[in-house]
């Protein structure tokens, strides 16, 4: 299964991933000490939803577009994590004069990092890297770096800050190869950065395959770990991308409990009835 990011920009999986990203950053920022943010597969940072692949797919219409419209109409009725997401996306759109664009993880992180925080976004494709560098700009809290995310993960950890968030979001173009590389990356990251929060995104095509992979991954970990999942099609259907998952190592205090609130609310908001849903799975240790 190929995962073309421009094709899927702003879809349900992006929304799920980015709500979680912001919730993790906010949890880490409860302490004044600076944090380190690393995005290993950052992409181009900014995606036009009204042209190209995103317009062809129309997936954003069932993702960010419908959620932002719902939140504008009923702000008091949905989880705080969803409101925070909407506020950050809309603020970036105003500042960037990008009403019909959608930001990637590195750009979203740059919007909320504090002066004492630091970020690095790695992208291997030259054209995508140049777009990312331009989108972030010179003054961003996140620096764009041209390189192989798998290799730079090893080189950049542990950071001087000793606290932070590592986001691993490979394209899964080589499905089996990227899943294996993701397993190795998570284990290597936590060996080098034992106090860090590691968030690995993965696609859900068939839940039975995903569950077997999660079990295998968990057997190699000793730190508290959860999986947070949302699906908009039955997780064993032939729709292709049925759901979105995140393995989170060292989840912040009560993060899993909060996922049990905002993930079902998000699934409902995105129209995931009739086979859709959400769950938070403890994989290793006490996670709630």
CA atoms within 13 A on the CB side of 3: 23
Q: Which of 14, 101, 169, 178 is catalytic?
A: 169
| Angstrom distances, CA of residue 40 to CA of 72, 80, 140 | 33, 28, 17
Of 55, 39, 46, whose CA–CA distance to 131 is shortest? 46
- Residue 233: helix, strand or coil by DSSP? coil
> Residue 72: which of 50, 87, 59 has the closest Cα?
87
* 205 neighbors 257 (Cβ within 8 angstroms): no
Return the closest-CA partner of residue 199 out of 242, 153, 132, 161. Answer: 153
The answer to whether 123 and 43 are in contact (CB under 8 A) is yes
Residues 6+ apart with CB under 8 A from 57: 7, 8, 11
Sign of CA pseudo-dihedral 117, 284, 215, 207: negative
Is residue 169 part of the annotated active site? The answer reads yes
Contact 121, 39 (CB under 8 A): yes
Going by C-alpha positions, the residue among 224, 181, 209 that lies closest to residue 40 is: 181
CA–CA gap between residue 243 and residue 155 (Å, rounded) = 32
**Catalytic sites, residue numbers:** 169
């Amino acid at each position: 299964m190929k995962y073309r990011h421009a094709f899927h920009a702003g879809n349900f999986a992006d929304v799920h991933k980015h709500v979680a990203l912001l919730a993790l950053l906010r949890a880490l920022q409860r302490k004044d000490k600076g944090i380190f943010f690393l995005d290993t597969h950052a992409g181009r940072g900014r995606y036009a939803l009204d042209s190209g692949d995103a317009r062809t797919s129309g997936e954003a219409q069932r993702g960010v577009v419908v959620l932002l419209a719902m939140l504008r109409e009923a702000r008091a009725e949905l989880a705080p994590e969803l409101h925070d997401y909407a506020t950050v996306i809309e603020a970036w759109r105003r500042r960037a004069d990008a009403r019909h664009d959608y930001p990637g993880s590195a750009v979203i992180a740059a919007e909320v990092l504090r002066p004492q925080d630091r970020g690095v976004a790695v992208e291997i494709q030259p054209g995508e890297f140049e777009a990312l560098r331009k989108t972030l700009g010179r003054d961003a809290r996140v620096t764009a770096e041209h390189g192989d995310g798998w290799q730079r993960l090893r080189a950049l950890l542990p950071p001087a800050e000793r606290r932070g968030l590592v986001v691993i979001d490979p394209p899964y173009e080589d499905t089996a190869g990227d899943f294996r590389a993701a397993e190795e990356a998570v284990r290597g990251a936590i060996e080098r950065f034992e106090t860090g929060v590691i968030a690995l995104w993965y696609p859900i095509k068939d839940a039975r395959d995903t569950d077997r992979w999660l079990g295998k991954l968990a057997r190699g970990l000793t730190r508290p770990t959860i999986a947070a999942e949302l699906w908009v099609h039955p997780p064993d259907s032939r729709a292709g991308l049925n759901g979105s998952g995140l393995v989170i190592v060292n989840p912040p205090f009560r993060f899993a409990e909060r996922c049990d609130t905002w993930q079902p609310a998000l699934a409902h908001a995105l129209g995931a009835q009739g086979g859709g849903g959400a769950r938070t799975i403890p994989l290793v240790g006490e996670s709630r």
